[in-house]
Amino acid sequence: MPAITRAEVEHLARLARLALPDDELEHYAGQLDVILSSVASISEVAAADVPPTSHPLPLTNVFRPDEIRPSLDTDEVLAQAPAAADGRFRVPRILDEEQ
Amino acid sequence: MTDPTTLTAAELGGAIAAGDITAVEAAEAHYARIDAVDGAIHAFLHLDREGALAQAADIDRRVAAGERLGPLAGVPLALKDVLVQRGVPTTAGSRMLEGWRPPYDATVVTRLREAGVVILGKTNMDEFAMGSSTEHSAYGPTRNPWNTDRIPGGSGGGSAAAVSAFMAPLAIGTDTGGSIRQPAAVTGSVGVKPTYGSVSRRGLIAFSSSLDQAGPCARTVLDTALLHEAIAGHDPLDSTSIDAPVPAVVAAARHADVRGMRVGIVRELTGEGYQPDVQARFDESVELLRELGAEIVEVHCPNFVHALAAYYLIAPSEASSNLARFDGMRYGLRVGDDGTHSAEEVMALSRAAGFGAEVKRRIMIGTYALSSGYYDAYYGQAQKVRTLITRDFEAAFARVDVLISPTTPTTAFRIGERLDDPMAMYRADLATIPSNLAGNSAMSIPAGLDSDGLPVGLQIMAPALADDRLYRVGAAVETALNARWGGPLLDKLTVGGTR
Amino acid sequence: MTDAVLAYDEVLESYDPVLGLEVHVELGTASKMFCGCSTEFGAEPNTQVCPVCLGLPGSLPVVNAVAVESAIRIGLALNCSIAPWSRFARKNYFYPDMPKDFQTSQYDEPIAFDGWLDVEVPTDDGVRTFRVEIERAHMEEDTGKSLHVGGATGRIHGADFSLVDYNRAGIPLIEIVTKPLAGAGELAPEVARAYVTELRELLVGLGISEARMDRGQLRCDANVSLRPRWAEGEEPTPLGTRTETKNVNSFRSVERAVRFEMCRHAAVLSGGGTILQETRHFHENDGTTTSGRIKSDAEDYRYFPEPDLVPIAPDPEWIEKLRGTLPESPAERRRRLSEAWGFSDKDLQAAVNAGAVDLITATVAAGTTPDAARKWWLGELARRANETGADLDALGVSPVQVAQLQALVDAGRINDKLARQVLDGVLLGEGSPEDVVVARGLEVVSDTGALGAAVDAAIAARPDVAEKIRGGKVAAVGALVGAVMKATRGQADAATVKDLILARLTADS
């Protein structure tokens, strides 16, 4: 049984906002299967009592004072936008509701 | 006049400070070298001649005015294209960011400017630093100066190639799983991944936030240390930056003495899977260290065998989130905005068009590893393995001062050879990944050549915030090997018929 | 399409409502959650943005210390435990107004958890208290704002394109989530409203937000589900499917939205249908909700610890120091004031609901009796606020001015009618009440000599009325008093006028 099915890859592509044509989906399904199969062994390595390490540093409580710092120049920012109008970023119509 | 491109950064900085050569002359000489050889190598994605020469002229004015500048003032540098530089095109090797000009400087760039380092341009890399060969650049591969049919390593192949082909004495790389050390190894140069948190990540386009670390690349251990000292230090704008003094790396690089040091050989990072030539150069290095007065100890790090699997879950997971912002809405590539597609569709079309195959693969692996139902078995488990690997290091460093291994299992492979075999490509990082997972410091220095005349790297690993030990050991090995070879390894290199 | 609804009484015959309320409050910090951009409301679009809040490549967040303090103080004020160790997490989903395409939030390790807030609801049988249990309070960041252009309505549907302003992106938010709230029965809509009202008073009292719903600084999502009633002694019935009505943006709307959803759910359920787990949108104009997004399995936020930030581990001393900064709770304060002012529960509740407690306090502090202060703020001033749509505290008259006004009345220098004219002047910016009285010449005429002529004229003009009064019909005096008041343009003191008239007419007889 493959580690990942073609349907799952399709679902992943949707979650990751990647518009992949069918032949690419097929291609990736094969490759992801190989990769995931070879990393799957990891699920048996660590005992339940091993704490996870999400970060190599033991730092805590890094804060900055609540002070205003200069913002960027609006024109410079919008100059890099694919489309802009009225001082705002112009984006295609949004279908989905806000989360 | 000596050709400035043949000088080390330390020598060049000294000559500029002494007024023997100007920073402008140094920059122009390196641009001339780039013009002569980079057609064959393709180390650079963008050259900022105007900006660099203006900066060099400013250094010259200050030198002429009698100002005392740092040791690297006026020395040229190649910057990996994953660090943002205000107003200078920054792509991270991706089509997604073609033409993007960042409105701010990375902290590393600010530090370089403060040190008077002249940034020549941006170097090629695997797209978003994902790769071990620089073949995954959207702008074409970089070639290894030792053999242009071979890869220069990755992801920072451009920076390593620029340094080893004498197009710049210094370069900045970033190392998430070996992207500084592996290119250094296969190009015969020196590269260091500093302790995680010791060089600011602000302005470093994130691949995997908990692993990424910028660091120095150069041709000598001392030059690497000078650059390390220039870029390291606390940055309040990076929450994961360590607020502690930078280890005295330059002093250590000048203290090339390993007598009495305990050096550990990691059993799990030798033997099977390592090319015989690579193993032979490593064994010679061990012998050399013994001769130099180090005590050699064998250590076991049993969980290192799981490092690759843990890495290929953690890094893609973080990347899948870090790269979400490339959606064609605020900057970068936008595809399909023709009035017929919604924002959601335009995002998906832009990302499909803007990302290359390797990036898409990793985004999907990461999305999978984080998704509900799989999180515990993959991402959660990989984090536990990370704990086990850190414990292995702790146990080993309780017995020894540094650990050593070959930097890479093989020397530079052929361009195209592993493109269709992701797992084979991933294995290039076998020995470098553990240090990223634990956040330790590590270095690669040249250890000789294989039977094809390709460089082999020696990896030195030290605990977090003990980066100075790398330089002490590295400088000792470098001095002894150069004496044995009758000069630096890179002196044997000719590129495009020159030098 | 209009949804069928069941009459409210019928809903309660068969079903028991369960509520869950999620409130987002924007903190009033000077700078954003993770960067130094200003949070000032109303700036030109995209002028308060930087690499961090625009999510530019390479940017990194750094946590605002005051936001953390505010979160801890909210947690303490809501009787929560403060986590000794908590973390930020990334909530991954794509949306154009969210610059990083993930929201930096907190997931399974919130900074505050397990608290409660008591709220009071007036009923026919007196005020009832409900304890609303708090699941958690956590920190997160706000999104940008989209302007939908084209189409007929300016709404998201049918728009041609959208324009995004990221000034709001990255403003610190605290999300406060209740545990499922059951047992309120028919009072569920009122309890929901009372909770949000009480929460706002608490937040304003803490000084951490203006919490103005009209500016989106306080936003409420209301979860509603129904379950069939069960007989005493039986196992409670399982919880029903819930819907989440988003962004209900006034206290009154919270109550209406809950009520509507209860009636809609009941109609669906009693018709044999099933409730879809979905988000709903509330419409202010007719008090209904319409279907939003179906919550599906495709929704997978892939939370994981934010690797660009380090954990928050407040030491106990810090927490106790912050506890020391808490003001008395709104409920304690109300009890204290109620006693000091001698208000009835109903009067005090009215003051709370009108947002007038602080104003009355300040007016009393300036020398007015509590009753007089209450009459001003909940009477004449509330009426004017209603007319103009302004909040009481934004009306343009200060508690000190109200106290001065009342002092003029108490001194007999102006009467109630004149006081309203003086108030007009104050609201028009003509100065203090004293200034207005002098400038407009509004002082009452209480000098009996000066009034005598007007009284004589009034009696002479209405001999019939004068005759009645002489005949003992004292109540008829009102007509003559009115005539005198009219003649003196309201500046006479009515009581004095009445005394004068009666004195003359009864002296004659």
Interface of C with A in 410-429 (CB under 8 A): none
Helix (H), strand (E) at residue C26 = strand C15-26
- The answer to whether residue B199 neighbours chain C at the CB level (below 8 Å) is no
* Claim to verify: residue C287 and residue C203 sit in the same structural domain: yes
Structural tokens at position B185:
């190894």
* Residue C105 amino acid letter: S
Least confident of B105-119, B137-151, C215-229, C427-441: C427-441
Q: Specify the pLDDT at position C171.
A: 98
- The verdict on whether B80 is a catalytic residue reads yes
Is the same domain home to C404 and C459?
A: no
User: Could A17 and B344 be called an inter-chain contact, meaning their C-beta atoms sit closer than 8 Å?
Assistant: yes
Mutation pick from C39, C163, C247, C290 vs chain A, by most beta carbons of A within 10 Å, is: C163
The pLDDT tens digits for A30-57 are 999 999 999 988 888 878 889 999 888 8
Kindly state whether B103 is in contact with chain C, defined as any CB-CB distance less than 8 angstroms. yes
Name the one residue in this structure whose structure tokens are 């937040």.
Answer: C203
- Considering the domain boundaries, does residue C322 fall inside one? no
Who wins on pLDDT, C508 or B408? B408
Cross-chain CB nearest to C96 (options A64, A86, A94): A94
Angstrom distance (rounded) from CA C182 to CA C131: 10
Contact at CB, B320 and C90, closer than 8 angstroms: no
For chain C, positions 324-353, list CB contacts with chain B under 8 A. Answer: none
Cβ A93–C50 below 8 Å, yes or no? Answer: no
- Distance from C-alpha of B336 to C-alpha of B345, rounded to nearest angstrom: 8
Which three-class secondary structure state does DSSP give residue C90?
strand
Same domain, C37 and C172: yes
Q: Is residue C165 part of a domain?
A: yes
How many CB pairs below 8 Å do chains B and C form together?
Answer: 99
Query: Is any Cβ of chain B less than 8 angstroms from the Cβ of C304?
Result: yes
Nearest to B403 by CA among B248, B262, B291: B262
Residues of chain B with pLDDT under 70: 1, 496-499
B384 counts as catalytic: no
Among all chains, which residue has been given the structure tokens 């470093």? B204
Interface test mutation site (partner B, options A6, A14, A18, A89, max chain B beta carbons within 10 A) = A18
Q: Which of A11, A89, A95 to mutate to test the interface with C (most CBs of C within 10 A)?
A: A89
How would residue C447 be classed by pLDDT, with cut points 50, 70 and 90? low
In a domain, A80, yes or no: no
Contact A83, A91 (CB under 8 A): yes
Last residue of a domain, one of C285, C311, C337: C311
Residue A59 within a domain? no
Confidence of residue C295 (pLDDT cuts 50, 70, 90): low
- Claim to verify: residue C59 and residue C113 sit in the same structural domain: yes
* Cβ–Cβ < 8 Å for B267, B298: yes
Which of A17, A60, A93 has its CB closest to that of C159? Answer: A93
* C319 touching A (Cβ < 8 Å): no
The helix/strand/coil state of C220 is strand
From C55, which residue of chain B is nearest by alpha-carbon distance?
A: B325
Partner-chain contact C97 A98, CB within 8 Å = yes
CATH number at residue C467: 1.10.10
Range of the domain at C478: 448-508
In a domain, C320, yes or no: no
Q: Which pLDDT does position C298 carry in this prediction?
A: 53
| Predicted local distance difference test score (pLDDT) of residue C364 | 94
Q: B169-183, B272-286, C146-160, C180-194 — which is least confidently predicted? A: C146-160
| B206 contacts in chain C (CB < 8 Å) | 57-58, 308
Q: Which residue of A has its CA nearest to B329?
A: A91
List the CATH number of the domain containing A18.
Answer: 1.10.20
pLDDT at residue C30 in the model: 98
> Does the residue A19 lie in any domain?
yes
Domain around A24: 6-45
Q: What is the pLDDT of residues C36-75, one digit of tens each?
A: 999 999 999 999 999 999 999 999 999 999 999 999 999 9
Number of domains, chain A: 1
Asked if B178 and B202 count as a contact pair (C-beta separation under 8 A), the reply is no
Q: How many CA atoms lie within 13 A of B296 on its CB side?
A: 16
- Domain shared by C426 and C455, yes or no: no
Tell me, letter by letter, the H, E, C secondary structure of B33-88: HHHHHHHHHCCEEEECHHHHHHHHHHHHHHHHCCCCCCCCCCCEEEEECCECECCE
Is the preceding peptide bond at C146 cis, omega within 30 degrees of 0? Answer: no
Same domain, C434 and C456: no
In angstroms, what is the C-alpha Rg of chain B? 21
CB–CB of A56 and B310 under 8 A?
A: no
C389 within some domain: yes
Confidence of residue C509 (pLDDT cuts 50, 70, 90): very low
Domain boundary among C311, C345, C366: C311
Return d(Cα B115, Cα B121) in angstroms, integer: 17
Q: Name all chains with 3 or more CB-CB pairs below 8 Å to chain A.
A: B, C
Same domain, C128 and C14: yes
Q: Cα(C509)–Cα(C507) distance, rounded to whole angstroms?
A: 6
Instruction: Check CB contact of C45 with chain A, cutoff 8 Å.
Output: yes
> Same domain, yes or no, for C122 and C212?
yes
By the 10 Å C-beta count (0-12 exposed, 13-18 middle, 19+ buried), C25 is classed as buried
A51 in contact with chain B, both atoms CB, cutoff 8 A = yes
Q: What is the 3-state secondary structure (H, E, C) of chain A?
A: CCCCCHHHHHHHHHHCCCCCCHHHHHHHHHHHHHHHHHHHHHHHCCCCCCCCCCCCCCCCCCEECCCCCCCCCHHHHHHCCCCEECCEEEEECCCCCCC
- Mean pLDDT across C109-135: 92
Spell out which residues of chain B touch residue C304, defining contact as CB-CB under 8 Å: 317-318, 321, 370, 375, 379
| Confidence band for C491, pLDDT divided at 50, 70 and 90 | confident
* Residue C3 domain-assigned (yes or no): no
pLDDT above 60: residue C297: no
- Structure confidence by residue, pLDDT tens digits, B336-364: 999 999 999 999 999 999 999 999 999 99
The last residue of one of the domains, among C405, C440, C475, is: C440
What pLDDT score does C443 carry? 80
Residue percentage of chain C with pLDDT more than 70: 96
Count of alpha carbons within 13 angstroms of residue B323, beta-carbon side: 37
One of B179, B208, B241, B441 is an active-site residue; which one?
Answer: B179
Q: Say which of A62, A70, A72 has its CB closest to residue C310.
A: A62
Distance of CA C232 to the CA centre of its chain: 38
The single-letter DSSP state of residue C215 is: G
Closest-CA distance, A89 to chain C, in angstroms, reads 5
Determine contact: C453 vs chain B, CB below 8 A.
no
Same domain? For C276 and C386 the reply is no
- How high is the pLDDT of residue B489? 93
Give residue C349's pLDDT: 78
pLDDT at C474: 83
| Residue from the list C58, C162, C304 with its beta carbon closest to the beta carbon of B204 | C58
**Are C81 and C212 within one domain?**
yes
**Residue C30 sits at the chain A interface (C-beta within 8 Å):** yes
Q: What is the pLDDT of residue C411?
A: 86
> Band of the pLDDT at C245, cuts 50, 70, 90?
very high
Active-site residue flag, B179:
yes
B39, B191, B189, B48: which is closest to B119 by C-alpha?
B48
- In sequence order, what E strands does C124-184 have? 126-141, 145-149, 161-165, 172-178, 181-182
* Averaged pLDDT score across all residues of chain C: 90
CB proximity C44 to A under 8 Å: yes
Q: Of the listed B80, B94, B317, B350, which one is catalytic?
A: B80
Domain count within chain C:
3
Check if A73 contacts B (Cβ < 8 Å): yes
pLDDT reading at A99 higher than 60: no
- For A88, the closest of C95, C147, C156 (CB atoms) is C147
**pTM for this model (two decimals):** 0.89
- Kindly state whether C302 is in contact with chain B, defined as any CB-CB distance less than 8 angstroms: yes
Question: What DSSP state is assigned to residue C503?
Answer: H
Helices C316-323, C65-77: crossing angle, 10 deg rounding: 70
Q: CA B446 to CA A5: how far, in whole Å? A: 44
Is residue C159 less than 8 Å (CB to CB) from chain B? Answer: no
Per-residue model confidence (pLDDT) at position C152 = 60
Name the residue among B43, B8, B49, B57 with its Cα closest to residue B31. B49
* Interface check A87 vs B, CB under 8 A: no
Give the separation between CA B40 and CA B152, rounded to whole angstroms: 13
Distance from CA of C281 to the nearest CA of A (A): 10
**Residue C49 included in any domain:** yes
- Give domain status of residue A20, yes or no: yes
Asked if residue A52 is part of any domain, the answer here is no
Stated as kind and residue range, the H or E segment containing C205 is helix C188-206
> Percentage of residues in chain C with pLDDT exceeding 90?
59
Nearest CA in chain C to B375: C302
Chain B residue at shortest CA distance from C163: B329
Q: Do both C144 and C172 map to the same domain?
A: yes
Would residue C353 count as lying in a domain?
yes
- For residue A94, list chain C residues with Cβ-Cβ distance below 8 A: 95-96, 146, 148, 156, 159, 162
**C183 lies in the same domain as C260:** yes
Q: Please compute the mean of the pLDDT values over residues C5-21 and round it to a whole number.
A: 93
Contacts of A86 in chain C (CB under 8 A): 45, 163
**Reduced to 3 states, what is the DSSP secondary structure of residue C31?**
strand
Closest CA to C246 of C292, C210, C214: C292
**Looking at CA atoms only, how far is residue C152 from chain B in angstroms?**
17
pLDDT at residue C501 in the model: 87
Catalytic residue among B94, B132, B155, B208: B155
Tell me which chain B residue has its CA closest to the CA of residue C46: B330
| Distances, alpha carbon B366 to alpha carbons A9, B82, B309, B312, in Å | 12, 20, 13, 9
